[in-house]
Amino acid sequence: MKTKKILVKGVEAIALGALEAECKCYFGYPITPQNDIPEFMARELPKRGGVFLQAESELAAINMLLGACATGTRAMTTSSSPGISLMCEGFSYIAALELPAVIVNVMRGGPGLGGIEASQGDYFQAVKGSGHGDFHFLVLAPYNAQEAYELTAKAFELAEKYRNPIMILSDAILGQMKEPLVLKKLKIKKYPKDDWALTGAKGRPSRFLRSLFLDAQELKEMNIKLMKKYKAMQKDIKFESDISEEDNIIVVAFGSIARIAKEAVNNLREKGYSVGYFRPITLFPFPEKPIKKIIEKAKKPLKFIVPELNCGQMIEDVRLAVEGRASVISLPYPPSVIPFPEEIEKEIKKCLNSLSSRKV
Amino acid sequence: MKLELIISGFGGQGVLFAGNLIAQASMIANYNVTYLPVYGPEMRGGTCNCTVIISKKSIASPIVARPSFLIIMNYPSFIKFVPKLKKAGSAIINSDFVKPENIEDFEKLEKKYKFYFIPVSSLAESLNTPLLANLCAIGAFYQITKVFNRKQFEKALKEILSKGKAHLFEPNLKAFELGAQYIKKNYKI
């Protein structure tokens, strides 16, 4: 059978990925720039025997998601920055109950209501803390429609594998841009749920899911269990790397700006400059080890340049990975100032000049 | 081959539809494409633009500082985008709204770039379909670039005009043809 190629928006690719993974329930509340997802799900899910429900608020949507996931059903919600903030309490409970939920944030400008321009201002929120307590999402950051499709489908598998919420972190550019998508059949593994899911106690003792542990020892054990889980996620680190040992500048970027940075790197290489490119795809766990390896293999002193559509957030994780062994420079682009490739090229050249490197 | 196209005009002139259609036809013609609309309050009246990149190689950045091709549907778009056009770039210009005599240093610009003046609005009106000026412009784009062929264009148009709009296929195609013919008659390609 010939695989179909279609021209779709990034947000439609996310919805198609969810269908490919046999997502059965969608709960959400409208917000720009991700409304194409609920529109698509409202049309497609009922046809497949699924449930689409537009909740009365984000708070309701996230708790509906919690409920559906507690029964072991594949379910998701999607929103954009301000809406995601409203869901944060629910994220913490979902993480505490170890539920396999998939959450999509198509980021827009903030803080507050912000604007509808593309932004990566929610990096900290996604990676460091979107809710109280010691918990993490596994965060996936696609950078084109194909990845949006494949990573969203994969998110449902990873959610079940770790019994942990997964966040897809996209933005308004990736979401609203149309690109060809090859609708590949994907192998999405299913994990058994019969030892924890709430499916009715017929024929077995009753069980319940809870996040309240008044016994201090029990709470500690729960946290240690989560900690071990987050460490285990290291196995699923994903990244794209295009670096040679000769490079002394490495550009590190994720999501939409990674594409603009890639264009800048390609242009510089064509002109004979030696510049590397590194793109984290999992933002948590952050690909620390691969970055350490780059430093170990380098023949020259390195400089890392981190362009972001925010005032400098991922740069902190790059610094932690680098451990002071190379300089790390931030290129901040707050909402509405999306740089052209030429601008990033200029900034990289400035760094090259300060290294007094020659053209090769 | 890499073509960076910006289409710009008033909201309501079908700028986004045109970008989407060109991207779809180019994908069918086996190119890599990206189509990036600006979105927001442009639904009526304000200027509106979109960027389409068509390339044999995979496309990294979906935005460009310097396009190689423009479709200019109104005067403000000419002022905004022509100065950004790449060296020796081309532009299809709606001559109903953009008059050379109203443009400062027009001779200088004409030497630098390849302009195709075409009255897309009145051509569309002559077919009694004033809303299809965008299709006349796509016809011109096809005639000039031949990025996709007729068959590929028709396939794309059919796919975009989903079931409910199938009856618009013929009028769209007519406007497309009129645009293509105008270029054939008036310009050497």
Q: What are the structure tokens assigned to B158, written together? A: 């059919």
Please choose, from the candidates A5, A281, A282, A13, the residue with its C-alpha nearest in 3D space to the C-alpha of residue A145.
A13
Contact at CB, A259 and B36, closer than 8 angstroms:
no
Contact at CB, A262 and B60, closer than 8 angstroms:
yes
Where do we find the tokens 């994969």? Answer: A154
Is the Cβ of A262 closer than 8 Å to some Cβ of chain B? yes
Number of A–B residue contacts, CB under 8 Å = 59
Q: What are the structure tokens assigned to A207, written together? A: 């069980």
Contact at CB, B63 and A340, closer than 8 angstroms:
yes
Q: Tally Cβ neighbours within 10 Å of residue A202.
A: 6
Chain B (67-96) residues lying within 8 Å, Cβ to Cβ, of chain A: none
- A357 confidence band (pLDDT: 50, 70, 90): very low
Whether residue A252 has pLDDT greater than 50:
yes
User: A239-242 and A25-28 as β-strands: parallel, antiparallel, unpaired?
Assistant: unpaired
Q: What's the pLDDT at A337?
A: 74
Average pLDDT over residues A112-135: 94
How many Cα atoms within 13 Å fall on the side-chain side of residue A156?
29
Contact at CB, B33 and A179, closer than 8 angstroms:
yes
- B8 confidence band (pLDDT: 50, 70, 90): very high
Q: What's the pLDDT at A358?
A: 45
DSSP B138: H
Is the Cβ of A177 closer than 8 Å to some Cβ of chain B? yes
Contact at CB, A180 and B27, closer than 8 angstroms:
yes
For residue B37, the domain's CATH number is 3.40.920.10
Is the Cβ of A5 closer than 8 Å to some Cβ of chain B? yes
- A353 confidence band (pLDDT: 50, 70, 90): confident
Q: What's the pLDDT at B189?
A: 82
Instruction: Give CB contacts under 8 A, 24+ apart, made by B82-87.
Output: B82/B109, B82/B113, B84/B6, B85/B113, B86/B4, B87/B112
Is the Cβ of A31 closer than 8 Å to some Cβ of chain B? no
Q: What are the structure tokens assigned to A67, written together? A: 């409920």
- A1 confidence band (pLDDT: 50, 70, 90): low
Q: What share of chain A is helix, strand, coil (3-state, %, to 5)?
A: 40, 20, 40
**What residues of A are in contact with residue B27 (Cβ under 8 Å)?**
5, 7, 180
Is the Cβ of B106 closer than 8 Å to some Cβ of chain A? no
How far apart are the C-alpha atoms of A10 and A148, rounded to whole Å?
7
Q: Which residue of B has its CA nearest to A4?
A: B28
Q: Tell me the percentage of chain A whose pLDDT exceeds 70.
A: 98
Q: What's the pLDDT at A359?
A: 45
Dihedral of CA B23/B29/B31/B32: which sign?
Answer: positive
Instruction: Give pLDDT tens digits for A32-73.
Output: 999 999 999 999 999 999 999 999 999 999 999 999 999 999
Average pLDDT over residues B12-24: 96
Answer whether A5-235 and A238-354 agree in fold. Answer: yes
Instruction: Give pLDDT tens digits for A181-230.
Output: 999 999 999 999 999 999 999 999 999 999 999 999 999 999 999 999 99
Average pLDDT for chain B:
94
Q: What are the structure tokens assigned to A129, written together? A: 């803390």
Q: What is the CATH number of domain A238-354?
A: 3.40.50.920
Is the Cβ of B155 closer than 8 Å to some Cβ of chain A? no
Task: Tell me the whole-structure pTM to 2 decimals.
Answer: 0.95
Q: What's the pLDDT at A336?
A: 74
Q: What's the pLDDT at B177?
A: 98
Average pLDDT over residues B10-14: 90
Average pLDDT over residues B86-102: 96
DSSP A108: B
Whether residue A360 has pLDDT greater than 60:
no
Whether residue B100 has pLDDT greater than 90:
yes
Contact at CB, A340 and B64, closer than 8 angstroms:
yes
Q: Domains of chain A: which residue ranges?
A: 5-235, 238-354
Q: Please provide residue A18's backbone torsions phi and psi, each rounded to the nearest 5 degrees.
A: -65, -40
Q: What is the CATH number of domain A5-235?
A: 3.40.50.970
How far apart are the C-alpha atoms of A311 and A109, rounded to whole Å?
12
Contact call for residues A321 and A282 (beta carbons, < 8 A)? no
Which of B27, B34, B65 is closest, CB to CB, to A342?
B65
Whether residue B94 has pLDDT greater than 90:
yes
Whether residue A258 has pLDDT greater than 50:
yes
- B39 confidence band (pLDDT: 50, 70, 90): low
How many Cα atoms within 13 Å fall on the side-chain side of residue A239?
22
Q: What's the pLDDT at B98?
A: 97
Instruction: Give pLDDT tens digits for B115-157.
Output: 999 999 999 999 999 999 999 999 999 999 999 999 999 999 9
Contact at CB, B61 and A116, closer than 8 angstroms:
no
Q: Tally Cβ neighbours within 10 Å of residue A59.
A: 15
Which of A33, A178, A264 is closest, CB to CB, to B35?
A178
Instruction: Give pLDDT tens digits for A270-299.
Output: 999 999 999 999 999 999 999 999 999 998
Total tally of structural domains belonging to chain B: 1
Q: Where in the sequence is the domain holding B63, given as residue range(s)?
A: 2-186
